[in-house]
Every structure is written in structure tokens, then in C-alpha cells.
Amino acid sequence: MDKTVSSPEQAVAGIENGAVLMIGGFGGSGAPVELIHALVGRYVATGSPTDLTVVNNNAGNGRVGIAAMIDAGMVAKMVCSFPRSSDPRAFTEKYLADEIGLELVPQGTLAERIRAAGAGIPAFYTPTSYGTELAEGKPVAEFDGKKYVQERWLQADVAIIKAELADTHGNLTYRHAARNFSPLMCMAAGVSIVQARKVVAPGEIDPEHVVTPGIFVDAVLEVPKPLQEEELIRSGEAY
């Protein structure tokens, strides 16, 4: 029952070439920097994992986190709503050179597609994007006189997530707005790997306060003083 792992390297060791990888965070809030950098380190050392599809709201910023993955060349495609940032060089250069794919998804649709996958719902209808270029090719249906676009669930092989507290069963809390997509991604991925500032014994998180129940979590790593991506970017850090 103990889901703890002892190092970032061990936590990301099972991620395979070609995987669909959901990464928690919105901008720098909630970005699991240590897990991402362990994955980049593994790629630099071994050439694997590569050809990844990465799902995140954004497409990296500066020279750390997802931007470092893109810089390293291990990302084949981004699925996101807003691939711009204060320093979007990593994605922009590869996108304009046609070296990386992009599936642009409205933010609420992105969240709901992830949630739907976690809830076992293969498709749903939403008015979002109806009549726009992002709805091209998608089925449209009318309900009660209004037009809706069919959207499919978005499943992943692995999610890597930053939490505030975790217990050894994988129950999670988050910090402030760092929650964002993470609870949904834990539900939608086959394997959810979590770094938490503190890992505690079962019972130490009040059940009333659990945000992500442990059933959605597979591995928990304690990272006591986690790097904050926005702070890294503002201080000009590079992986």
C-alpha cells in the first residue's frame, strides 16, 4: 500500500518513448519541476523517453520545465490552450521550424476532455468553439435549439504532478492556485506520479481536506523544498 518512491529518477524511470504525458501546472504554478528535470536528465543520458506528446495548459516558458523538455528535443507534440508565455522561445522556434506539433484546445474544453477521460466518458458536447476554426471537422449536434460541438476525451499514459501534502496512500492536497489541472490529470492518466512538499502517514491529512483521493495516484515522492518555476524563470535559470 505504500506508494512512496525515493528519488525523482526512480519516479520517472518507467515513462516510455511515444508516451502521452500530462504535466500539471498553469504557467509556473503547480509545475512539477523536479520530476520534469529528472525526465530531461534521463533523456540526455539515455536518449529515452522521446517522441512524447505533452498535455499542459501552456507550452513552456524560459529554459526550464517543459521548455527544457522541448529544447532537449524529446517532445513531438504539445496539446495545450495557450502556447505563449513571457519567454516562449523553446516552443516558438520549434513550431515555426515545423519541428513540433500543436493541438490547440480551448482551456475549458481541455479541462473537460481530461476530466471526461478520468470519468470514463468518451465524448461530450459543448457550445465552446462552435462556428470557429477549432471546431472544424468535429460533429455538431443541436440540443433544445442550440448548437454544440462534440469533443472527445483526452487520455494519457502518465501524469506528473506537484502537490503540497501527500500521504503514503496517495491522498493529495494542493497549494493555492497550483491545483489547476492536476486533480483532473491524476484521474485521466494510467499512471500518476506525484511530487509533494511533504509526505505524511495515512490519517495525517484530514479526510475532509483531501482534494485528490489516493485511488487516482500511483507514486509519491517527497520533494521538501520544491523549485517554483516562475521564480526560476524570473532569475534566468536554465536546466
Partner 1 sequence: MSVPKLTSAQVAWRAAQDIEDGAYVNLGIGLPELVARFQPEGRQAVFHTENGVLGFGEAPATGEEDWDLINAGKKAITLKPGASFFHHADSFAMVRGGHLDVAILGAYQVAQNGDLANWRVGSKGVPAVGGAMDLVHGAKRVAVVTDHVTKDGKPKLVEECTFPLTGKECIGRVYTSLAVIDVVDGRFVLREKLPEITLEDLQSLTGAGLATPDHVGDLVAPDLS
Please tell me whether the peptide bond between 49 and the residue prior to it is cis, using omega within 30 degrees of 0.
yes
Nearest to partner 1 of 41, 89 (CB atom):
89
Q: What is the smallest separation between the CB atom of 75 and partner 1, expressed in angstroms? A: 15
Number of other residues whose CB lies within 10 A of the CB of residue 175: 15
Q: Which is nearer to partner 1, 204 or 231 (CB)?
A: 231
- Measured from the CB atom, is 12 or 78 closer to partner 1? 78
Tell me the closest approach of the beta carbon of residue 175 to partner 1, in angstroms. Answer: 5
Q: What is the dihedral of CA 36, 37, 43, 48, to 10 degrees?
A: -30
Q: Closest separation between CB of residue 109 and partner 1, Å?
A: 7
Name the grid cell of 157: 499514459
88: enclosing H helix or E strand = none
Q: For residues 175 and 198, which CB has a smaller minimum distance to partner 1 in the complex? A: 175
Chain centroid offset of residue 31 CA: 8
Residue 58, CA distances (Å) to 26, 49, 132, 172 in order:
7, 21, 21, 23
In the bound complex, what is the minimum distance in angstroms from residue 132's beta carbon to partner 1?
5
* Site residues, partner 1 (CB under 8 A): 26-30, 57, 81-86, 88, 91-92, 95-96, 102, 104-112, 114-115, 126-134, 174-184, 211, 228-231
Q: Which is nearer to partner 1, 5 or 165 (CB)?
A: 165
Number of helices and strands in the chain (H, E): 7, 12
Please, what is the minimum distance in Å from the beta carbon of residue 228 to partner 1? 5
Q: Cell for 233?
A: 524563470
Other CB atoms within a 10 A radius of the CB of residue 84 amount to 12
